[in-house]
Every structure is written in structure tokens, then in C-alpha cells.
């Protein structure tokens, strides 16, 4: 599902440098990505999603060379094929819970917001324990509830690849378990690949494999 070769990336004017000689993640595999702060874990997810583009090397997702796409193509590919749970959540304060969940379908012509999608949004909300919160605004939710909204939004397009950046960070044990259960259940149902950045080592036994980014650096 994911093939990375000879990747090198740096931010302009910064000392940070990420170098990954080789990384492969199989279709349907569930991997946790760990490493020291500043090692580039979030950057690696952004490179997989085409949010960032490497200076050299290849990032291939589902057979598509992401770095070879132009900006519009990368955006459409990401919205259609990748579910990204951002650490910052990136919910829209002016939209209620349900509208936040379906927002990707409103901004991408490649996705059609039909009755089947609405039904799936409601099902995800129910599984996430958000049925009674659908008309609430993000400011009216707890941190755990906002996190679950972000997960539902990422899972709605039934992506082949789910990327989660500290999806359980700062959550209490009950919410942490709920978010992980939702991610794993949806990944298993769709046969999707899950790559999750985490600093919570208590969750590592749930994954098929743990990738230490510090050990990958070239």
C-alpha cells in the first residue's frame, strides 16, 4: 500500500531533515509510528498524504506516485483515498457536528454527497457515540467528542488509507479506547491500511507492527 524509497525532505530555512531510505507498509496492515519529538513523525504522514512533497525520492500510495501529482491532483487524491485525522483536529467552528463530518463531500467534486453517504455519516456518528450531539457546535463538545468527530470525518469516504496523527493524544482512557476501537473497526471492515503516529506506548500491542522512525533515518 505504501512504498517509500530514498526519501529526503527538509523545510526551507530550517535545520530539520527527514531521510527515509526505504519503508513499506502492506495493504491492510495496521502500524504505529513512534520516535522522539522532532523526529519527523507528523511530517512523514504529510508526505504520505501529499500535503508535503519531498525534495527527492519516491512516495507511492496504492501504486500512485504522490510526489509526481500536481497540487490539485494531490488534493483530490487525498480527499478521495486517504482519511487523515489531524493532531489539531481542524474542525470548523461555524459548522455543527454533522456538517463537519460530511464537509469533505461538500468541497470535493470527486465525492458525491448522496443518501448513502448521509446514512454512513449517521452510522459512524452512532458508533462514535455522537448521535445526540449532531446539532452541537464544536465549542459545545468535550475534547474527546471533538476527536471522535474528526475520526468520523476521516472515515466517511471509506478511504483505503487511514493516517492518524496522535488521534488518542490528551484523551482519557475511555475516550482513547473508543477512538482506537472506531479506527480499527473501520480499517478492518474496509481492509484499509492504518498508519498512526503515537506517543502512547500502552496502545502499541494493538498494532500489527511498530515503526521507530529514529531507526529509519539514513
Range list of H helices, 34-70:
41-49
* Confidence (pLDDT) at 167: 85
Please tell me the distance from the alpha carbon of residue 99 to that of residue 199, in angstroms, as a whole number: 30
Please tell me the distance from the alpha carbon of residue 194 to that of residue 26, in angstroms, as a whole number: 10
Q: 57: pLDDT confidence band, cut at 50, 70 and 90?
A: very high
**Res. 46: pLDDT tops 90:** yes
Q: 12: pLDDT confidence band, cut at 50, 70 and 90?
A: confident
Q: What is the mean pLDDT of the chain?
A: 90
Cell numbers of 86, please? 489531524
> In this predicted model, which residue has the larger pLDDT, 52 or 177?
52
Please tell me the distance from the alpha carbon of residue 214 to that of residue 165, in angstroms, as a whole number: 17
Residue whose C-alpha is closest to residue 193's, from 24, 47, 41, 64: 24
**Res. 87: pLDDT tops 80:** no
Share of the chain above pLDDT 90, in %: 61
Q: 116: pLDDT confidence band, cut at 50, 70 and 90?
A: very high
* Confidence (pLDDT) at 104: 87
**Res. 218: pLDDT tops 80:** no
Average pLDDT over residues 199-210: 91
Predicted TM-score of the model (pTM): 0.89
**Res. 114: pLDDT tops 60:** yes
Q: 88: pLDDT confidence band, cut at 50, 70 and 90?
A: confident
Q: 85: helix, coil or strand?
A: strand
Domains of the chain as residue ranges with CATH? 2-216 (3.40.50.300)
Residue recorded with cell 519531498: 54
Q: 153: pLDDT confidence band, cut at 50, 70 and 90?
A: very high
Q: 189: pLDDT confidence band, cut at 50, 70 and 90?
A: confident
Please tell me the distance from the alpha carbon of residue 78 to that of residue 43, in angstroms, as a whole number: 15
Amino acid at each position: 500500500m505504501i512504498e517509500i524509497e530514498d526519501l529526503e525532505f527538509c523545510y526551507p530555512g530550517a535545520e530539520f531533515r527527514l531521510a527515509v531510505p526505504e519503508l513499506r507498509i502492506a495493504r491492510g496492515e495496521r502500524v504505529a509510528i513512534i520516535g522522539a519529538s522532532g523526529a519527523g513523525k507528523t511530517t512523514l504522514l504529510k508526505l504520505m498524504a501529499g500535503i508535503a512533497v519531498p525534495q527527492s525520492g519516491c512516495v507511492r500510495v496504492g501504486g500512485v506516485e504522490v510526489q509526481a501529482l500536481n497540487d490539485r491532483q494531490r488534493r483530490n487524491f487525498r480527499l478521495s483515498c486517504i482519511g487523515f485525522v489531524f493532531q489539531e483536529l481542524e474542525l470548523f467552528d461555524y459548522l455543527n457536528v454533522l456538517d463537519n463530518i460530511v464537509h469533505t463531500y461538500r468541497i470535493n467534486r470527486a465525492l458525491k454527497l448522496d443518501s448513502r453517504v448521509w446514512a454512513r455519516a449517521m452510522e459512524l456518528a452512532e458508533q462514535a457515540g455522537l448521535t445526540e450531539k449532531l446539532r452541537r457546535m464544536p465549542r459545545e463538545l468535550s475534547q474527546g467528542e471533538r476527536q471522535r468527530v474528526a475520526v468520523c470525518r476521516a472515515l466517511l469516504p471509506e478511504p483505503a488509507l487511514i493516517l492518524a496523527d496522535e488521534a488518542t493524544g490528551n484523551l482519557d482512557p475511555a475516550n482513547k479506547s473508543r477512538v482506537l476501537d472506531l479506527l480499527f473497526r473501520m480499517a478492518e471492515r474496509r481492509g484499509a491500511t492504518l498508519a498512526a503516529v503515537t506517543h502512547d506506548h500502552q496502545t502499541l500491542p494493538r498494532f500489527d507492527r511498530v515503526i521507530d522512525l529514529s531507526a529509519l533515518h539514513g
